[in-house]
């Protein structure tokens, strides 16, 4: 009889130990999510412009599209308080993915310069994404290195107009 009590108590301890391990694994998985990646299902839109911080990810339900602002790969904009010959351009990398498409990186520029292959707009999955705003602007004393991780962009998304060609119906 004494052996049965000991075996039963060891079995109970073993089961409670397994449950504690499961709870600790779930807690570590919840804390492993990087803080720089934020996923929201609501739009942070003002005046039709969607604003994203660097590293931010949003799922846009009305467009069935996931948008992630990866970062700024080039920022040659004229610093505040400086006189420049060329206004410069900021090149933002935006990753887009539809619900049934693979991810694609779009390089959106703050201004159109076709000679350097900079485009302010790009087409994806029947929509045109346009870069409207890149902030903050570089300062002459700090340069663009100080802005890494602090960028914020504003984009607009519009449906591509179907062709008005009379031969199509």
pLDDT in tens, 93-132: 999 999 888 999 999 999 888 888 899 999 998 999 999 9
pLDDT in tens, 57-76: 999 999 999 999 999 888 88
pLDDT in tens, 19-53: 555 554 444 444 344 434 443 434 455 568 899 99
Residues 38, 56: contact at Cβ < 8 Å?
Answer: yes
CA atoms within 13 A on the CB side of 42: 2
- pTM above 0.85? no
Which pLDDT value is given to residue 109?
A: 93
Q: How far apart are CA 112 and CA 121, in angstroms?
A: 8
- Residue 96: which of 78, 122, 74, 116 has the closest Cα? 122
More confident residue, 21 or 154: 154
Cα–Cα distances (Å) from 31 to 38, 63, 66, in that order, read 13, 30, 23
Which pLDDT value is given to residue 48?
A: 81
Residues 96, 125: contact at Cβ < 8 Å?
Answer: yes
């Amino acid at each position: 009889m004494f052996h049965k009590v000991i075996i039963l108590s060891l079995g109970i301890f073993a089961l409670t130990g397994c449950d504690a391990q499961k709870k600790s694994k779930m807690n570590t998985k919840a804390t492993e999510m990087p803080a720089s990646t934020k996923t929201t299902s609501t739009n942070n839109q003002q005046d039709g412009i969607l604003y994203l911080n660097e590293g931010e990810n949003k799922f846009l339900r009305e467009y069935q599209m996931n948008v992630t602002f990866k970062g700024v790969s080039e920022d040659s904009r004229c610093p505040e308080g400086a006189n420049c010959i060329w206004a410069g351009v900021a090149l933002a990398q935006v990753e887009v993915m539809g619900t049934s498409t693979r991810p694609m990186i779009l390089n959106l520029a703050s201004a159109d310069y076709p000679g350097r292959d900079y485009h302010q707009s790009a087409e994806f999955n029947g929509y045109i994404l346009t870069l409207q705003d890149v902030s903050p602007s570089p300062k002459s004393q700090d340069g663009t290195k100080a802005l890494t991780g602090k960028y914020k962009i504003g984009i607009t998304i519009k449906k591509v107009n179907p062709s008005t060609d009379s031969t199509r119906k």
